[in-house]
Amino acid sequence: MKLDVDPPGNRREDVDLKEMIRDIVSDVKELPASRKIEIKASLPEDDIFINTVYGDLRRALFNLVENGVKYVSSYRETDGRVEVRARQDDGRIQVVVDDNGPGVTDEERDVIFERFRRGDSHRARSRSSAGGYGLGLSISRKIAEREGGSLELGGSSLGGASFIMTLPKAELKGSEEK
């Protein structure tokens, strides 16, 4: 998949990021792999708006939450957790997707963002047939970078994997202030 900067036909718009995250969490809860997993969004009271290509950013964040569910469900029979947190400060917005799955080994840290690369076979494949092609993290990172941000692997507060998407807080186009 080629992700051009502001590809023709993709319209940038002011997006309520908290609403997008709530919708993604709701959609992921409907997936069969989510049945025994607690998925929650911890969002600030303040509004978080971003000027972006809605479908692309949604795809990037959906990939992260779905990956969390996939790896947690393959690793745990019970007590699985995926948490999405968002915050904003001076010039940036940060979205963290944290889970209590198997985590990422030191060897995997260097390759998981490459196209067609997946985590070790003990992860998503052990109890789940939900495979994938190893494109999700690569696509999510490309989208974050196209937005002027980043997608990195961080330390998990839940003991598994933690993916941190940082995006610049851009000037909104639709109004003076949201």
Pick the closest to residue 56 from 3, 123, 108 (CA basis).
3
- Residue 25 token pair: 């969490």
Quick one: pLDDT at residue 132? Answer: 58
Three-class SS state of 124: coil
Predicted confidence (pLDDT) per residue in 114-143, tens digit: 765 555 544 444 444 445 556 789 999 999
Predicted confidence (pLDDT) per residue in 29-81, tens digit: 999 888 889 999 999 999 999 999 999 999 999 999 999 999 999 898 889 99
Mean pLDDT of the 87-91 span = 90
- Residue 112 token pair: 């998981």
Going along the chain from its start, the domains and CATH numbers come out as: 12-168 (3.30.565.10)
Q: Pick 4 or 139 by higher pLDDT.
A: 139
The CA-to-CA distance between both ends of the chain, in Å, stands at 33
